[in-house]
Homo-oligomer: A and B are copies of this chain.
Amino acid sequence: MQQLIRINVINGNTFDTMTRGINESAQAARFLSTEIITTQPRTGPESIESYYDEYLAIPGILEEIVLSEANFDAFVIACWGDPGIEAARELTTKPIVGIAEASMYVANMLAARWGVLTTQHRTLDMVEKTIHKAGFSHRCVSIRTTGLAVAETETARDAAVDALEAIGRLAILEDKAEAFCLGCAGMGRLDTELERRLGVPIIDSVAAAVKMAESLVGLRKQTSKALTYKPPESKLIKGFPKLMQPGG
């Protein structure tokens, strides 16, 4: 019998509509024997469009992991930028997957040169740092932004897909990009339509992360506790609830 895998896909923000959208992406991507629950943190911003948003989203993401750790086999952090992922890996031996890393691994396996298409212009530096940290500055040849807010991207689908098509076309033409990561969890189910329009692989980053999580569980692998990702040291963390106190 197929191993049952339970994955908690955690939306990085607190916007219900996006959580539902992420859930659609995740459910569509899972193997039949995988059970997906899509959650959103109890605290944090409605969308992540700045470093400020990103850092204030992290405690809620970590809390969600602490709360549900016993009930799942793996966790996906569904915000391109993989906020708090190193801390999440300290909290559990169960695999943690970020949608940014997952989408970039998939892109590497499909194309020699790829790009990232995302939302607000201001996120350019955030995206670059994410790629640089991963080691893919030589593989990512294009970062382009629509200038649309995350919320608009989620709610005004037609405008979003048109804008993504436009910047994708430029990236293919000028930067010789051959595939794209969709750099926002709110762009999930746009991959099929964009593939149709642009003729190159488009990666729904949430879907990619679900597959990576299934893979790690399938491999029966756990996060290393040898050094960096050991459980947090026991200590008082002021202003946070009891369940967030390490060793508590």
Which of A156-164, A182-190, A217-225 is near enough to bind chain B? A217-225
CB of A226 within 8 A of CB of B178, answer yes
Distance from A50 Cβ to chain B, minimum over Cβ atoms (Å): 4
CB of A44 within 8 A of CB of B238, answer yes
A interface residue count range (under 10 / 10 to 19 / 20 to 34 / 35 or more): 35 or more
Q: Could you tell me the distance between the alpha carbons of A235 and B230 in the complex, rounded to whole angstroms?
A: 35
Interface residues of A (CB under 8 A from B): 1-3, 14, 29, 31-33, 41-47, 49-56, 58-60, 62, 84, 86-87, 89-91, 95-97, 101, 105-106, 108-113, 120-122, 124-126, 128-129, 132-139, 149, 172, 176-179, 199-201, 203-204, 207-208, 211-212, 214-216, 218-219, 221-224, 226-230, 232-233, 235-240, 244, 246
> A133 contacts which of B49, B129, B134, B176 (Cβ < 8 Å)?
B129
Kindly list 16 other residue pairs between chains A and B, CB separation below 8 angstroms, not including A124-B227, A177-B226. A44-B238, A50-B230, A55-B55, A111-B228, A111-B229, A112-B229, A113-B124, A122-B227, A135-B135, A176-B227, A178-B224, A178-B228, A208-B219, A211-B215, A212-B215, A214-B215
CB of B33 within 8 A of CB of A240, answer no
Chain B residue numbers with a CB within 8 Å of A53 are 232-233, 235, 237
CB of B62 within 8 A of CB of A55, answer yes
CB of A106 within 8 A of CB of B216, answer yes
Chain B residue numbers with a CB within 8 Å of A31 are 2-3, 31, 33, 218
> A226 contacts which of B120, B172, B222, B228 (Cβ < 8 Å)?
B172
Chain B residue numbers with a CB within 8 Å of A89 are 51
